Amino acid sequence: MILSPLIHAIRDLTKAITQAHSDTTNHLLRQVIERLDKMAKTQAELAADIRTATEQLQKIGTETSATLQKVTDLQAIIDAGGGVGGTVSQELIDAVAALQAQAQTVDDLVPDAPTQPPV
């Protein structure tokens, strides 16, 4: 990250100047150092928050994929005439249709992962 080395360079320069000047200047420069240190910590905390949010989004994607697979499996059972035993009620067909619609709504909210070009 570009800012982090810049912040550290400014802090180091400020420390060097602090050693060479009066008490008033030293006090002001110490305040600058403290603020620069705080900025660096804040950036690290923000980076950690972004990593956490990324992990949550990956989890949501995995869970959504699993739900979509279940919908596909249910549709296959209905298409096969209800599996063992045979008859599929209109209530089940309607329930699966509603589930498919909801799954599609969620799927539309999340962009598809980019496909890798063939190597």
Q: In the prediction, which pLDDT does 42 show?
A: 78
| Domains held by the chain: number | 1
2: pLDDT confidence band, cut at 50, 70 and 90?
low
Integer-rounded Cα radius of gyration of the chain: 29
Question: What's the pLDDT tens digit per position in 14-41?
Answer: 666 666 666 666 677 778 888 887 777 7
Average of per-residue pLDDT values in the chain: 76
Residue at 118 is within a domain: no
Question: Which residue type is seen at 108?
Answer: D
> pLDDT exceeding 90 applies to what percent of the chain?
0
Residue at 116 is within a domain: no
Residue at 83 is within a domain: yes
> pLDDT exceeding 70 applies to what percent of the chain?
75
| CA distances for 96 relative to 28, 84, 100, angstroms | 68, 18, 6
Domain boundaries, position 104:
3-109
Residue at 114 is within a domain: no
Whole-model pTM: value is 0.45
